[in-house]
Amino acid sequence: ENTLNEEVCPNLWPLLSKGGSNQSVPDPERFSSPTLRIVISVVYSVVCAVGLVGNAMVFFLMKVRRGRKRSTINFYILNLAVTDFQFVLTLPFWAAENALDFSWPFGNAMCKIILSVTVMNVYASVFFLTAMSVARYWSVASALKDRSRVRACSVRWVCALLWASATAASVPTAVFATETRVFNDKLCLLKFPDQYLLALYHLHRILIAFVLPMCVVSVCYVMLLRLIRLRSMNNNHPKRRSRVTRSVAIVVLSFFICWLPNHAITFWSVLVKFNLAQWDEAYYAAHTYMFPVSACLAHTNSCLNPLLYCLMRSEIRKTIKSLCWRMSSPAGAPGGCQVLCNVFYVISTPFYCEETQGFGSSLR
C-alpha cells in the first residue's frame, strides 16, 4: 500500500491512505467544497500576479542601483527575489489543480518538476530569510568597515550553500512525486512505501523550514533589538528605538503568521501517522477546509517578501522616488506616478528604521 500526500489532495488522502481500515470514514460529499476550491484558485492567481510584479520590481531596482555600493542585505534580497519569483511561477499549476478538484492534467514529468520546484523554493526562501536576519545582526554588532570585497565573496559562498541545501532538501520530493490514477482522476501525489516515511518527511520539513529558522530569526532580532536599545539609550533616541521595534515585529510576525497554520496542521498529520493522535472527522475536516487555506496563507509570503525586505529599505525607497521624479512632467509638476510614489514613501517610512542616523547604515 502506498501512502499518498494529503498536501496535494487533502480531500481524498484520508480515504485512500486508510485502505482497508475498519475506522469509519466520513462521507466525502459532506466535506466537499467546490466554492472553497475556486476561491483558493483565484487567490493563487492573485498571489502569482502580485508576486511576479513585486519580485520583478526588485530585479529592476537592483539593476538601477548597479554600480553603487553593494551590501550584504541587498545580495540576499536579490536571491530571495529569485526564489520567490520561481515559486510564484508554479502557482498557476496549483490553481488549475484546485479548480479541477485536484485532478492533474499536466502529465507525470510536470508533476515531478512542479512539485520539486515548489518545495525547493519554499526551502530556499526560508533559508534566505534566515540568513538575512543573521546578516542584519552581524552587520550591526560587528560594524565592519572597508571589507566589502571580503564580505561580498563570503556572501556569494553562503548563497551557493543555501541553494545547494534547498536543492538537497527537495530530493525526496523529486524521488517520490508521481502522477497516479485514483478512481477516474489523475493526481499529482507524493507516494512513499509506508506512512512512517511520509511522517518523517513532514517532520523534517517542519523542523528545517519552520522551527529552526523561526528560532534563528527570533534570536537574531531579539539580540538586534537589545543592541539597538542600548545604543538608543546612550544617544537618547526613543523614537528611533520604537521604529526599530516596529520594523522587527512586522518581519517576525509576518513569517510566523504566514507559516504557523500550515505547519501546525502538517504536524497534526504527523501525530496521526505515528498513531499518537486519533484520525477522526475533525482531522478530516481540518485537512479539507483548513489545510488549503493555510497553504494559501503560506504562499502569500512570496508577495510580502518584496515589500518587507526591499521596498521598505530607505535607500530603495529613495531610488523609487528618484525614478518617479524622472517620469514626472517636464515642468516639474508632480504627475500621477510621483503622487503615488510620495504616498508610498510616507506610508512606508514609519515602518522602517534604516534611514535613522547612528546605526541605520550598518543595517544595510
> 130 Cβ partners below 8 Å, 6+ apart?
213, 216, 217
Instruction: State residue 76's pLDDT score.
Output: 86
Among candidate residues 40, 79, 59, the one with its CA nearest the CA of residue 165: 79
Q: What share of the chain has pLDDT > 90, as a percent?
A: 29
Does residue 174 or residue 351 have the better pLDDT? 174
Residue 30 in this model has a pLDDT that exceeds 60: no
Domains in the chain, start-ordered, CATH in brackets? 13-22+31-363 (1.20.1070.10)
pLDDT of residue 18: 34
Q: What local confidence, expressed as pLDDT, does residue 244 receive?
A: 60
149 SS3 class: helix
**Do the beta carbons of residue 132 and residue 162 sit within 8 Å?**
no
Q: Which helix (H) or strand (E) holds 325?
A: helix 314-326
pLDDT over 70 percentage in the chain: 66
Residue 319: pLDDT above 70?
A: no
For residue 328, pLDDT over 60 is answered with no
H-type alpha helices, the chain: 13-17, 28-31, 34-64, 72-99, 108-142, 148-169, 171-176, 195-206, 212-235, 238-273, 281-285, 291-299, 301-306, 314-326, 336-348
Is 288 exposed, middle or buried (CB count within 10 Å of its CB: 0-12, 13-18, 19+)?
A: buried
Answer positive or negative: Cα dihedral of 216, 219, 221, 227.
negative
In this prediction, residue 151 carries a pLDDT of 62
pLDDT of residue 195: 86
In 82-240 the beta strands, taken as DSSP E runs, fall at 177-182, 185-190
pLDDT of residue 232: 64
Q: Rg for the chain (alpha carbons), in Å?
A: 23
Among 145-154, 220-229, 269-278, 305-314, which is the least confidently predicted range? 145-154
Confidence band, pLDDT 50/70/90 cuts, at residue 142: confident
Confidence of residue 242 (pLDDT cuts 50, 70, 90): low
Rounded-to-integer distance, Cα 67 and Cα 4, Å: 50
State pTM to two decimals. 0.78
* pLDDT tens digits, 45-76: 999 998 898 888 888 877 766 655 567 777 88
What tens digit of pLDDT does each residue of 198-212 get? 999 999 999 999 999
Contact criterion met (CB below 8 Å) for 152 and 70: yes
Distance CA 1, CA 196 (A): 12
Query: Looking at residue 307, what DSSP letter applies?
Result: I
What is the mean predicted confidence (pLDDT) over 301-314?
Answer: 72
Which pLDDT score is estimated for 23?
40
C-beta separation of 251 from 221 below 8 A: yes
Grid cell 498529520 in the structure block, residue: 269
Give how far the C-alpha of residue 269 lies from the chain's centroid of Cα atoms, to the nearest Å.
Answer: 21
Cβ count near 51 (within 10 Å): 25
Q: What is the mean pLDDT of the chain?
A: 75
Average pLDDT over residues 82-110: 91
The span from the CA of 304 to the CA of 50, in Å, is 9
pLDDT, one tens digit per residue, over 245-264 is: 666 677 778 888 999 999 99
pLDDT band of residue 237 (cuts 50, 70, 90) is low
Q: Determine the Cα–Cα distance for residues 319 and 32; give it in Å rounded to an integer.
A: 49
Mean pLDDT of 146-161: 73
